[in-house]
Amino acid sequence: MKILLTGPTGFIGSAFIRLALAKGHLIAGVAVPSESLPQDLAVAENMAWLRGTLDEAPWKEIEEFAPEVCIHTAWVTAPGVYLESPDNFRFLESSLQFLGKVQQLGTSQIIGLGTCIEYQIGNQPLSEERTPIAPTTTYARCKNDLRIKLEEEAAAKGFGFCWARVFYPYGPREHPSRLCSSIIQKIARGEKIVLKTPDSTKDYIFVEDLAAALLMVAEKQFQGTINLGTGVGVTVRQIAKTLVEMMGRTELIAEVSPPEIDPLGYVVADASRVHNLGWRPAHDLKKGLRLLLEGLTPF
């Protein structure tokens, strides 16, 4: 399969490339000119690096590549910034223009990455069919607006469209300020880990498992919305306890009393739809955290 990928140097995009190349697919990645390429992928066989942006895409090279599928992962994702960044509006407009042109070139399937926080968050697993959509952040609203407009375009023009709602990926090469990596760094420095929302429960998915789910969606040409999550909720307490035990520093963990309230206190996927495609995660929490710990640069 010939796959055009935006955001190929990102956390999710680069994990996807590694798996897709191993499975024999041909990949063309649209990388921003100023970005450094992952060393192990820079000269990978069956991988074409196309320099450009969503607004100034390398259209000649894309047309020559003739992608069958376009997977759109590029977006603003910096922790602590992305939820309310005005760049979300820019990515929304740029994505619509870019994907519209990709479809005009004859690409038969477009897959966009959404977010689990498009849903109305409650205390039950989030279902593609049953849970209302109620985004509360700029990031989630812009993602949802992109989905709506692409669904309309797909219905009018007849191309395949899938909207994959991503839950909470973690793993090697993640941003150092993400939860798991930030806890590891504090433990390594001997700092106290004070849990403010210890019972906050999220669906953490190891990045390689996420890549496998995304590739399966592409290979099976799935159309519609689909949750990319494990279906298993994990608390902040579980993550922190697992890491301090692995690193032999159990004395470093503490909790705020009373705990603070997390407005996103239970964000877990109903994973029935992706399970029905045949996907299952290959990593439980302990295995995933061990691989993350081993993959980090020694402190």
Helix (H, G, I), strand (E, B) or coil at 192: coil
Does residue 142 contact residue 88 with C-beta atoms inside 8 Å? yes
Domains of the chain, with CATH numbers? Answer: 2-169+204-228 (3.40.50.720), 171-202+232-267+282-295 (3.90.25.10)
Report residue 293's pLDDT band, with 50, 70 and 90 as the boundaries. very high
Q: Which of 51-60, 111-120, 245-254, 289-298 has the lowest mean pLDDT?
A: 289-298
Residue keyed to tokens 């376009």: 70
Please write the tens of the pLDDT for every residue from 132-189: 999 999 999 999 999 999 999 999 999 999 999 999 999 999 999 999 999 999 999 9
Is the pLDDT reported for residue 20 higher than 50? yes
Report residue 201's pLDDT band, with 50, 70 and 90 as the boundaries. very high
Is the pLDDT reported for residue 236 higher than 70? yes
The residue type at 146: L
Residue keyed to tokens 């000119």: 33
β-bridge partners, 206: 170
Helix (H, G, I), strand (E, B) or coil at 217: helix
Report residue 296's pLDDT band, with 50, 70 and 90 as the boundaries. low
Quote the percentage of the chain above a pLDDT of 70. Answer: 99
Q: Are strands 193-195 and 47-51 parallel, antiparallel or unpaired?
A: unpaired
Q: How far is residue 105's CA from residue 154's CA, in Å, rounded to a whole number?
A: 14
* Closest C-alpha among 217, 215, 1, 228 to residue 107: 1
Is the pLDDT reported for residue 3 higher than 70? yes
Quote the percentage of the chain above a pLDDT of 90. Answer: 95
Q: How far is residue 72's CA from residue 163's CA, in Å, rounded to a whole number?
A: 10
Mean residue pLDDT of the chain comes to 96
Is the pLDDT reported for residue 298 higher than 60? no
Is the pLDDT reported for residue 290 higher than 50? yes
Please write the tens of the pLDDT for every residue from 31-84: 999 999 998 898 889 999 999 999 999 999 999 999 999 999 999 998 889 999
Q: Calculate mean pLDDT across residues 12-18.
A: 97
Residue 294: burial class (beta carbons within 10 Å; 0-12, 13-18, 19+) = exposed
H runs (alpha helix) in 158-276: 179-188, 207-219, 236-246, 272-276
pTM of the model: 0.96
In this prediction, residue 26 carries a pLDDT of 98
Q: Calculate mean pLDDT across residues 104-119.
A: 97
Is the pLDDT reported for residue 299 higher than 50? no
